[in-house]
Amino acid sequence: MEKSILIIYTGGTIGMVNDPETGVLCPFNFNQIASEVPEIREFGFTIDNHALPEIIDSSDLSPRLWVDLCRVILDNYARYHGFVILHGTDTMAYSASALSFMLERLGKPVVFTGSQLPIGKIRTDGKENLIAAIEIAAAYEGDVPLVPEVSILFGDRLFRGNRTTKVNAESFGAFRSFNYPPLAEIGIHVHYNREAILPPPSSPLSPAAFCDLDTRVAILKIFPGMSADVVDAMIHIPGLRGMILETYGSGNAPTRADFLDKIREALDAGIVIYNVTQCAGGSVEMGKYETSRELLRAGVVSGRDITTEAAICKMMRVLGEHDDPAEIRRQLNANLRGEISLNK
């Protein structure tokens, strides 16, 4: 069967070209993508495109776009072997994380990519990223896709989407996955790290999407000198159900009584607190030091080696599906889509 790939354009730098009359960058017509990237004709298979009705700068990202992306993928799932999502880089890690949790029983590649320079610029990284993303989305052995999960392709690396963070605003190697190895490395050949890639679903059921995310969440990054009033203001946000607590090192936080009292007050009010390290790499190990032992005793959930981007999206998904506090904590502790290492 001839391969077929659907490119979904959400916005972002990769889709920009110079207007010949004004010289201003503007989105190009993706119906003419082959004229901008003629190399894709050499693949010899069907490459279609779909632009979302509202093209956005990724800084304007909202969960509504994640729902739209899920619907486009499911509506076209039977027609295509894989999907490439063109997305702005600033919030790409959030979107890739969100879709990894929202899409259930995914058995085909969903590859996010973008660029640091517009595709219409001479030195653009957009063409190589797009070409590599299409190749990986179409990579099968027989009827089995090589990367049946949500991933991010940028530069010469393919990363698991919910393990990825943007680390550089200028480099063509803008993304890193500090706590999980690349799924593939792109050079003259694409070398797949097969042991790191999630297997296809064993369920015969069709793919689905969970779209009832609960966005009543917040992120609190602790810092030296932070007063208890900051925590108090955060935990009294009307309707708040979950909070990502970005702590020092391996999950450490102040041991001051006023700080811990506010944490306990939040937990007693039913707010779930997820402990995530501020460090780019490494893992939360609650109880290793006295400065994290009190959080553990209070009932704060360890995020292990999860990224902040994945943590906030995972919490939205779990809170949207469950009301029981014990089940919420169990789900946050569980490895749902390869986002955490359980041995950490």
DSSP per-residue codes, 273-318: EEEEESSSSS---TTSSHHHHHHHHHTPEE-TT--HHHHHHHHHHH
Q: Is 76 exposed, middle or buried (0-12, 13-18, 19+ CB in 10 A)?
A: middle
Q: Is residue 69's pLDDT more than 90?
A: yes
Number of structural domains (the chain) is 2
If asked whether residues 227 and 161 sit together in one domain, one would say no
Measured distance CA(119)–CA(16) in Å, rounded: 6
Lowest-confidence range among 15-19, 214-218, 260-264?
Answer: 15-19
Asked whether residue 178 falls in the same domain as residue 283, the answer is no
Specify which of 70-74, 125-129, 204-208 reaches the highest per-range mean pLDDT: 70-74
pLDDT tens per residue across span 292-316: 888 999 999 999 999 999 999 999 9
Domain boundary among 182, 209, 236: 209
Q: Are residues 269 and 187 in the same domain?
A: no
- 138, 81 in Cβ contact below 8 A? yes
Q: Decide if 174 contacts 167 (C-beta within 8 A).
A: yes
Q: Is the pLDDT of residue 30 over 80?
A: no
Final residue of a structural domain among 177, 209, 241: 209
Choosing from 149, 182, 209, the residue where a domain stops is 209
Q: Is the pLDDT of residue 279 over 90?
A: yes
Do 173 and 57 fall into the same domain?
Answer: yes
Task: Kindly indicate the confidence band of residue 26, based on its pLDDT and cuts at 50, 70 and 90.
Answer: low
3-class state of residue 245 by DSSP: strand
Annotated active-site residue 215? The verdict is: no
- Predicted confidence at residue 203, as pLDDT, reads 83
Catalytic residue among 10, 13, 91, 308: 13
Residues 141 and 181 in one domain: yes
Q: Where in the sequence is the domain holding 126, given as residue range(s)?
A: 4-209
What is the per-residue pLDDT across 177-221, written as a single tens digit (0 to 9) for each? 999 999 999 999 999 999 999 999 988 889 999 999 999 999 999
Fill in the amino acid letter for 304. R
What's the chain's length in residues? 344
Alpha-carbon gap, residue 105 to 205, rounded angstroms? 8
For residue 254, count other CB atoms closer than 10 A to its CB: 20
What is the C-alpha separation between 192 and 210, in angstroms, rounded? 29
Across the range 232-250, mean pLDDT stands at 97
In a 10 Å sphere around its CB, with 0-12 CB exposed, 13-18 middle and 19+ buried, how is residue 244 labelled? buried
Least confident piece of the model among 35-44, 147-156, 252-261? 35-44
